[in-house]
């Protein structure tokens, strides 16, 4: 649906603003963080100004594209420019509130800036060096909801809704439907075992091989990850006829994903040609309609969502 919307909303510009931004492969984490934070702030401003969600998303993508908007005189980049200014003032230890008040802009805009600063000053406007503290998700969730939300919102927007971080409670929303196959993941030999089990069950349900061959590939990747990064886990395959989806849930009791790695895995995946980075996430993002992830220091659940249409044809284009 979102993708369809994005298509409909395609802007008649040289570059499609709803494309996943092309990020340089040498983008450092702090630069990435700066861009995502700026996008998050601009998105908040757009919310306070009652702009549409699409406009908020566009700002997020746009923020990822450019290193700076301070010189921009493009109206559509004004909120990004203001967000960047706020960040800069803070960095230079200026009185952000005073600076906002002195801006020559309309009052409603000023109020939005003040609100954004007020709401997010503790977590956004602080100098952090992500390299030095390799935080796990749980610490984000417990002490730092906003930072978790930034990751969730920005990755969601930048992947056009394809990758979504979800909370523990939200898992149940995706666990409804008919469980048609289950398996335990403990050792390497479970990889082909689970894959074969899944294959047989999918065949029994009437899916064609050409349809599920890609699904099995990413299932193998997810299971391999469980063994490689998390030891023990469980796979559950669900057929949700109501939503016309097949979902693979892979749950483990591992240490959780390092949050700050996620943007790279989900957004920069295609760019890391030099480093021999894992292909697991790249493949998941390529093959699945959506990838959902719930992760904390006590374990992770990854949910791969696939379109279930059994009839081949041009249905998929309709969303």
Of Mg ion, ligand ADP, none, which one does residue 229 interact with (CB within 5 to 8 Å by kind)?
ligand ADP
Task: Report whether 141 contacts 296 (CB < 8 A).
Answer: yes
Q: Is 301 in the site for ligand ADP (CB under 6 A)?
A: no
Q: Which of 66, 278, 283, 286 binds Mg ion (CB under 5 A)?
A: 278
Helix 145-158, helix 29-48: angle, nearest 10: 90
Q: What are 306's strand-pairing partners? A: 246
Rounded Cα–Cα distance for residues 4 and 12 (Å):
16
- The contact pattern for Mg ion, residues 227-266, with x = CB under 5 A and - = no contact, is ----------------------------------------
Q: Is 254 in the site for ligand ADP (CB under 6 A)?
A: yes
Ranked by CB distance to ligand ADP, the top (closest) residue is: 278
Of Mg ion, ligand ADP, none, which one does residue 38 interact with (CB within 5 to 8 Å by kind)?
none
Please name the residue ranges forming H helices in 27-132. Answer: 29-48, 53-65, 78-91, 96-102, 107-120
Q: What backbone phi and psi angles, to 5 degrees, belong to 119?
A: -70, -35
Rounded Cα–Cα distance for residues 60 and 157 (Å):
7
DSSP-derived letter for residue 259 is G
Rounded Cα–Cα distance for residues 147 and 165 (Å):
12
Number of residues forming the site for ligand ADP (CB under 6 A):
17
Q: Which of 225, 226, 295, 301 binds Mg ion (CB under 5 A)?
A: 225
Q: Is 281 in the site for ligand ADP (CB under 6 A)?
A: yes
Q: Sign of the C-alpha dihedral, residues 73, 77, 82, 83?
A: negative
Q: Is 280 in the site for Mg ion (CB under 5 A)?
A: yes
**34 CB-near residues (< 8 Å, 6+ apart):** 87
Reading the block at residue 63, the tokens are 């923020």
Range in contact with ligand ADP (rule: CB under 6 A) among 30-38, 117-125, 179-187, 247-255: 247-255
Range in contact with ligand ADP (rule: CB under 6 A) among 127-135, 137-145, 171-179, 221-229: 221-229
Q: Is 296 in the site for ligand ADP (CB under 6 A)?
A: no
Q: Is 161 in the site for Mg ion (CB under 5 A)?
A: no
- Residue ranges binding ligand ADP (CB under 6 A): 221, 225-226, 228-230, 252, 254-257, 261, 265, 278, 280-281, 300
The residues that touch Mg ion, with contacts defined as CB under 5 A, are: 225, 278, 280
């Amino acid at each position: 649906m979102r993708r369809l919307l994005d298509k409909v909303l395609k802007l008649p510009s040289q570059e499609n603003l709803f494309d996943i931004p092309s990020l340089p492969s040498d983008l450092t984490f702090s630069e990435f963080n700066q861009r995502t934070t700026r996008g998050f702030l601009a998105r908040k401003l757009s919310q306070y100004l009652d702009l549409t969600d699409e406009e908020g998303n566009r700002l997020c993508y746009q923020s990822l594209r450019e290193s700076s908007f301070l010189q921009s005189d493009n109206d559509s980049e004004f909120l990004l420019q203001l967000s960047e200014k706020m960040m800069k003032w803070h960095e230079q230890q200026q009185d952000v509130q005073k600076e906002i008040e002195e801006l020559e802009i309309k009052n409603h805009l000023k109020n939005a800036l003040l609100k954004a600063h007020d709401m997010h000053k503790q977590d956004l406007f602080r100098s952090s060096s992500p390299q030095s503290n390799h935080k796990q998700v749980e610490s984000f969730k417990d002490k730092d909801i906003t930072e978790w939300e930034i990751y969730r919102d920005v990755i969601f927007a930048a992947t056009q809704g394809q990758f979504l971080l979800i909370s523990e409670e939200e898992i149940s929303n995706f666990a409804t439907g008919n469980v048609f196959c289950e398996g335990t993941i403990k050792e390497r030999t479970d990889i082909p075992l689970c894959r074969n089990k899944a294959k047989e069950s999918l065949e029994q349900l009437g899916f064609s091989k050409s349809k599920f061959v890609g699904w099995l590939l990413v299932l193998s990747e997810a299971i391999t990850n469980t063994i490689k990064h998390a030891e023990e886990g469980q796979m559950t395959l669900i057929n949700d006829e109501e939503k016309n989806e097949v979902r693979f849930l892979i749950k483990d009791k591992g240490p959780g994903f390092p949050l700050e790695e996620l943007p790279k895995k989900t957004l920069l995946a295609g760019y890391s040609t030099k480093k021999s980075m894992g292909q697991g996430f790249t493949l998941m993002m390529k093959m699945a309609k959506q990838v959902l992830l719930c992760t904390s220091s006590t374990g992770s659940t990854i949910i791969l969502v696939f379109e279930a249409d059994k009839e081949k044809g041009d249905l998929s284009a309709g969303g």
